[in-house]
Structures are given as structure tokens and as C-alpha cells.
Amino acid sequence: MKILILSNRVPFPQNGGYPIVVRNTILGLVNEGHEVSVFTVNNRRQLTDIQTDDALIKRINYQSYDVDLGLSFKDFILNLFGRRTYNVDRFYNAGFERLLVEELKREKYDIVQFEGLFMSAYLPAVRKNTTAKLIYRAHNIEYLIWKRLSEQKSDPIKKSYLSLLAKRIKKYELSYLDKFDAIATLTNQDKQTMLDHGTKIPVKVIPVGIDLTRYRPDYEKTEYPSLFFLGALDWMPNREGMEWFLENFSSDLTDGDLKVRFYVAGHNIPESFDDYEVLGKIFISGEVDDALEFVNSKAIMIVPLLSGGGMRVKIVEGMAMQKCIITTSFGAEGINYHNGHDILIADDREQFHDAIKRAISDENFCKQIGINARLLVEQEHDTNKVISQLIAFYNEIQQG
């Protein structure tokens, strides 16, 4: 098959959930012998260097287009008082659309896959210029992220603003669902949400797939006990969750009964997080050179998500690295877990405290959770198995 993938973010290197999912999809399709093109917008304010993935890029037709995705004060005001869905509109660029239309006129594709809601801004132009089947890959239900964030806020102004965003995104999101030929979701929860909203086109769950050859846990290099978080703190659900965790557990980690070092790593960590650092006890590390090496060096992964949606790729990666993971029901959404067997679920302060306490005091228990987690990932998230499901879905839609 000849497949065109449209991405709202450069999927190289693998420094976040979105690029991991997209990049592994590209790799899997190419390895199965399909001809893949990737067209992506590249945030002009944070241009991405793709040289780290030259080998894969040489195997595909790759085009990136620099777009300014920054939000100015003027845009904020227009978003606040206007009726536009600026979260999506800012990804539209006439130059990128022209580049895309030229490609569609020049090449005949079987599948065009839109990676996430933000690329739907180009759906009308794509539909007009190709006979390919158009697949929407929903990395999450976008409006639910903002709705859940608004529900967590006590500040009435922030709550109202986030609620307004959620309503606008919901209206836009639901209006676009049936304009595609089919939808691939990452979780059963997201599929059911779409069906509940009356989606009539085929919807298939295709979970996160990862290249397991990259994940080689070595417990001899792991500090036990140790606690860590790894993620992008410019993503609001991550930031909100970590602020909640640090505010609730800083004293337990420094002066209380949770005697364990805690490491926070990831890109775009706000300077305000430096206030939580405590010499020898709480470490705010910033971005790390090698994420998997960092994960391997620590024992217990926490993901205190209070909102969000879709499947958390960092949790799947942590499971592949045999980590004992403590997260919320939101965090584990879409993963076919068994609480207490391959993950620990904690939805409030008391449950988090008890889970951390057990994990740091029983090394064998901690190790076994990680071993079981790796087995789960091998069964359900091996990219080779996931790509087979995706290709079967493509074939089904083409024949349909």
C-alpha cells in the first residue's frame, strides 16, 4: 500500500508519547514493505533536529514545513472572546496545505492517516484531492482532556476558561468524526466515547506499539529504592499531576516515613519546580540525555495524572523497562492491567502513600510487578503485532 501520514509534530526523535507512537507506526509499515510518506508541521519556535533518525528518514518520503505555533496575547483574547477553535486553527497553514495538495495531485495514495485532531484542519483539502481512504487516528478524545482539567480547578476564572475551551473543542471534534472514512483509537474507552456520541463510521482500537528491542532492563544498574517521574511538564495534565504530588508528598519524602530519593526529569520543567528541590532527597533534573538509561537507573515510576485521556506511552515504556509503576486510573486508561499484579493504581493521597510505602519496603514485590508489566507489554504492545492489526484495518476499510 501507498500511505501518507500527516503529523502535527515532527516524530523524530522519540522524546514524547506522540512521536513514539507515530515513529513506530512509520517504522512498522516500512518494515512490512509499504511505501510511506510523512508530511509534518515543524514548530518554528522549537525547531526539531531530525538527524538522530537518518536511517528511517532515508526509507520514506519525508517533508516538514515550518509553522509558527506560538500563542500571542492577541490570539489569546480572540480565543477567549471569539468563536474559533484556536487550539486547532493554529495548526492550519496555507503554505503547508499547498504543499500537501501538490503531493496528492502528483501521487496516488491508498491511505491518508491524520495523526490527531489538529491535522483535521487539512481534511477538506485532502478529501477534495484524493480518492484514498482517510483514517483519523485519535490519540485521545481532545475535549475530555480540557473538561477534566477544568473539573480539577478551584480557581473560578481558570475553571471557566478551561470549561469554555472544552465546549468549543467538543463541538469541533464531534462535527469532524464522521467526515473521515474510519477511526483508529488507542483505547477502548475512547472508542466507546465516540460510539456514545453517535459515530457511524468504523472505529477500531489499535493500541500503542513499541519496538521492544530498544527496551533492555538491567536491574543491576537500578537504584533501589528510588522514585521517579519522567515526562513533559509543558503538557498541562502532567504539570497539574506533579504539582499535586509534590505539594502532597514533599514533606513525607524529606521528613516523613517515605524514606526514598525522588527524581523529576523531562523537558520544559517550569523554574518554579526548583523550589521543591531538597538536597539529597528531591532532585529536579530537567531533560536527560538518554531517557531509557534514566528509567533503567531508577526503581519505581510514578504517574500521578488527575486528568487527561488516551493511552500514556510513558507508562507502556516504563512497563517495557520492568518498572514498578504507581499511577491513577486516568494514567492507566487503555492498558489491560491487573492492579497489584503488573501495576499499582492509586486514586487519592492515601492510596498513593500506601503504594509507595509498599514498593519501597519490599524489593521482591517491586521487582515482580515490573516483570509482570514487561510480560503484558510483550503480549499486547509489541509494535510488530500492533502494525499487523493496523494493516488489517486498512485492508478492511479499503474493501468495505
Integer angstrom CA distances of residue 162 from 80, 112, 145, 159: 10, 32, 10, 5
> Which pLDDT belongs to residue 63?
94
Residue pair 324/359 in contact (Cβ under 8 Å)? The answer is yes
Q: Answer yes or no: are the C-beta atoms of 286 and 382 closer than 8 Å.
A: no
pLDDT digits (tens, 9 = 90+) for 164-213: 888 888 998 999 989 999 999 999 999 999 999 999 999 999 999 999 99
Q: How many CA atoms lie within 13 A of 5 on its CB side?
A: 28
Q: Report which DSSP code applies to 345.
A: E
Please report which confidence band the pLDDT of residue 311 belongs to, taking 50, 70 and 90 as the band edges.
confident
Reported as a single tens digit per residue, the pLDDT across 12-70 is 877 778 899 999 999 999 999 999 999 999 876 665 665 566 788 999 999 999 988 76
Q: Which comes out higher in pLDDT, residue 227 or 334?
A: 227
pLDDT of residue 400: 76
Residue type, 320: A
Nearest to residue 295, comparing CAs of 240, 226, 208, 346? Answer: 226
Is the pLDDT at 75 greater than 70, yes or no? no
Strand order in the sheet with 282-286: 282-286, 261-265, 223-230, 298-303, 324-327, 344-345
Residue 306 confidence class, pLDDT cut points 50, 70, 90? confident
pLDDT surpasses 90 at 88: no
Q: What is the mean pLDDT of the chain?
A: 91
Q: 278 has which bridge partners?
A: 282
d(Cα 170, Cα 141) in Å, to the nearest integer?
A: 9
Give the per-residue pLDDT at 12.
Answer: 84
Handedness of CA 130, 132, 138, 143 (dihedral sign): positive
* CB-based contact 112:132 (threshold 8 Å): yes
Whether residue 375 is predicted with pLDDT greater than 60 in this model: the reply is: yes
62 three-state secondary structure? strand
What pLDDT score does 278 carry?
94
In this structure, which CATH number among 3.40.50.2000, 1.10.10.10, 3.40.640.10, 3.40.190.10 belongs to the domain 2-209+382-399? 3.40.50.2000
Span(s) in the chain for CATH 3.40.50.2000: 2-209+382-399, 213-380
**What residues contact 220, with CB distance under 8 A and at least 6 apart?**
none
Q: Output the nine-digit C-alpha cell for 48.
A: 526539531
Sign of CA dihedral 238, 239, 245, 246: positive
For helices 313-320 and 363-380, give the axis angle rounded to 10 degrees.
110
- Paired strand residues for 380: none
Task: Report the topology of domain 213-380.
Answer: Rossmann fold (3.40.50)
Asked whether the beta carbons of 88 and 123 are under 8 A apart, the reply is no
DSSP, residue by residue, 68-127: -----HHHHHHHHHS---HHHHTT--HHHHHHHHHHHHHS--SEEEEESGGGGGGHHHHH
